[in-house]
Copies of this chain bind each other. A is one copy, B any other.
Amino acid sequence: MRIRVEAAAVWPGGEQGWWTPGQVTWSANRIESVGPLTGEAADVDRVIRVEDGLVLPGLLNGHNHAAMSLMRGIADDSPLMEWLTQHIFPLEAHLTSEDVYVGTLLSCAEMIRGGTVGFADMYFFVDAVARAVETSGLRGWIARGLVEADDPGGEKLAEAVEFAHRWRGRAEGRVVGMLGPHAPYTCGPRYLERVAESAKSADLGIHIHLAESWQEVQDSQQRFGLTPVELAARAGILQSRVVVAHGVHLQDQDRKLLAAAQGGVVHCPVSNAKLGNGTMDVVRARREGVTVGLGTDGPASTNTLDMFLEMKAMAWGQKLLHRDPASFQAVEALRAATEGNAQILGGVSGRLEPGAPADLIVVGTRGTHLTPVHDWSSNAVYAATAADVRYTICNGVVLMEEGRLLTIDEEAVRREAAARARALIDRSR
A residues contacting B by CB (< 8 A) are: 69-80, 83, 106, 109-110, 113-114, 214, 270, 272-279, 302-306, 309, 312-313, 315-317, 319-320, 322-330, 366, 368-369, 371-375, 378-379, 382-383, 385-388, 410, 413-414, 417-418, 421-422, 425
Nearest B-chain residue to A303, judged by Cβ: B382
B372 and A274 within 8 A (CB): no
On whether A316 and B315 interact (CB within 8 A), knowing A72-B383, A421-B372, the answer reads no
With A320-B273, A369-B110, A417-B371: A303-B383 Cβ-Cβ less than 8 Å: yes
B-chain residues with CB within 8 Å of residue A375 when the two chains form the complex:
73-76
With a cutoff of 8 Å between Cβ atoms, the chain B residues found around residue A326 in the complex are: 77-79
CB contacts (< 8 Å) of A114 on chain B: these are 369
In the complex, the answer to whether A371 meets B414 with C-beta atoms within 8 Å is: yes
Q: How far is the CB of A323 from chain B (nearest CB, A)?
A: 5
Measured in the bound complex, the distance between the Cα atoms of B376 and A72 in whole Å is 11
Closest to A279 in B: B320
CA distance A179 to B415 in the complex (A): 52
Quick one: closest B residue to A317, CB to CB? B273
- Residue A372 contacts which of B77, B320, B417 (CB distance < 8 angstroms)? B417
In the complex, what distance in Å separates the CA atom of A304 from the CA atom of B380? 12
**How far apart are the CA atoms of A281 and B106 in the complex, in Å?**
37
Whether A385 touches B383, Cβ cut-off 8 Å, given contacts A273-B319, A275-B325, is no
User: A88 CB to closest chain B CB, in angstroms?
Assistant: 12
Chosen A-B contacts, 22 in total, with CB atoms closer than 8 Å, are A71-B374, A72-B383, A73-B373, A73-B374, A74-B374, A74-B375, A78-B325, A79-B326, A110-B368, A273-B316, A273-B320, A274-B315, A279-B320, A303-B378, A303-B379, A304-B369, A306-B369, A371-B417, A372-B417, A372-B418, A385-B387, A387-B387
